[in-house]
């Protein structure tokens, strides 16, 4: 009887060992918490310095770094200009926080006659009839736009964006120019670098520029009296990473 009990005890012990072996494993756990995806951001802010040959620029033509509010910030707001008048704006662009392609767009270009003065009517047969043609100011306003170094002066080696009047764009009422993130290079256009400051110089002349970009208004006649040139100006940036062909820029449609 003792042998039987001893055998049962041995079998029980062996069973206990077998049971323990089936539930015990080597193990290790490595945990990483707080995994997230955060979208990047692009934010364009602009300030403006205005210079006018005949004194101070109009109120609202200069401002510190900000987001533009449509209709509040105006690069150009000049009244009663005469032949030979000129001005210059230095626009400062700041792109936060990623590299981006950049564009400047002029749109909603209106070249209005605004009635007919007596001396204008003597040389402009269409000024008294609003259905017979537009004004003549757009044809007589010349612009020089360039990538500036921040000193408000166009200098040799600085890349021109545009030179001429807006007359060729009156039918489309829009024109788009791409900005260059490497204005000192003659190679292909590059993106604007994030958190770097870029300057755009815009000089206008009611008349013609000479070889040194001084304004000469002697060619202006009475045809442009009382006429006005109205337009919108916008700057657009689009991410450049994963966008090598600069897609997504502004159009004139």
pLDDT tens, per residue, the chain with 253 residues: 545 544 545 555 555 545 555 667 888 888 889 889 888 889 999 999 999 999 999 988 999 999 999 888 999 999 999 999 999 999 999 999 899 999 999 999 999 888 888 888 888 877 766 554 588 999 999 999 999 999 999 998 899 999 999 999 998 899 999 999 988 777 789 999 998 999 999 999 999 999 999 999 999 999 899 999 999 999 999 999 999 999 999 999 7
Domain hosting 52: range is 43-239
- Say how many domains are in the chain: 1
Inside any domain, residue 52: yes
| Degrees to nearest 5, angle at CA 177 with 68 and 153 | 75
State the number of CA atoms in the 13 A half-sphere of 101 facing the CB. 18
Inside any domain, residue 29: no
Inside any domain, residue 94: yes
What is the DSSP pairing of strand 43-52 with strand 63-66?
antiparallel
The pLDDT assigned to 129 comes to 62
Inside any domain, residue 18: no
Inside any domain, residue 17: no
Inside any domain, residue 15: no
Inside any domain, residue 50: yes
**Residues paired with 40 in a beta bridge:** none
Inside any domain, residue 164: yes
The pLDDT assigned to 163 comes to 97
* Short-list 142, 161, 150, CA closest to 213: 142
Q: In what order do the strands lie in the sheet with 43-52?
A: 63-66, 43-52, 86-96, 197-206, 141-148, 160-164
């Amino acid at each position: 009887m003792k042998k039987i009990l001893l055998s049962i005890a041995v079998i029980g012990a062996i069973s206990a060992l077998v049971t323990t072996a089936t539930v015990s494993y080597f193990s290790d756990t490595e945990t990483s918490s707080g995994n997230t995806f955060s979208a990047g951001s692009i934010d364009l802010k602009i300030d403006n310095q205005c210079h006018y040959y005949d004194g101070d620029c109009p109120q609202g033509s200069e401002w510190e770094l900000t987001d533009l509010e449509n209709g509040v910030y105006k690069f150009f707001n000049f009244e009663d200009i005469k032949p030979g008048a000129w001005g210059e704006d230095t626009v400062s662009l700041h792109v936060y926080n990623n590299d981006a392609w950049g564009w400047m767009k002029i749109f909603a270009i209106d070249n209005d006659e605004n009635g007919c003065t007596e001396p204008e009517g003597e040389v402009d047969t269409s000024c008294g009839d609003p259905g017979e043609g537009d004004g003549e100011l757009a044809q007589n306003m010349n612009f020089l736009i360039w990538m500036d170094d921040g000193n408000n002066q166009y200098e040799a080696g600085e890349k021109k964006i545009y030179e001429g009047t807006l007359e060729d764009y009156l039918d489309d009422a829009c024109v788009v120019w791409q900005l260059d993130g490497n204005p000192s290079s003659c190679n292909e256009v590059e993106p604007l670098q994030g958190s770097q400051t870029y300057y755009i110089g815009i000089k206008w002349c009611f008349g013609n520029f000479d070889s040194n970009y001084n304004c000469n208004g002697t060619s202006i006649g009475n045809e442009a009296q009382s006429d006005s040139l109205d337009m919108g100006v916008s700057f657009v940036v689009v991410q450049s990473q994963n966008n090598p062909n600069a897609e997504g820029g502004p159009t004139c449609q």
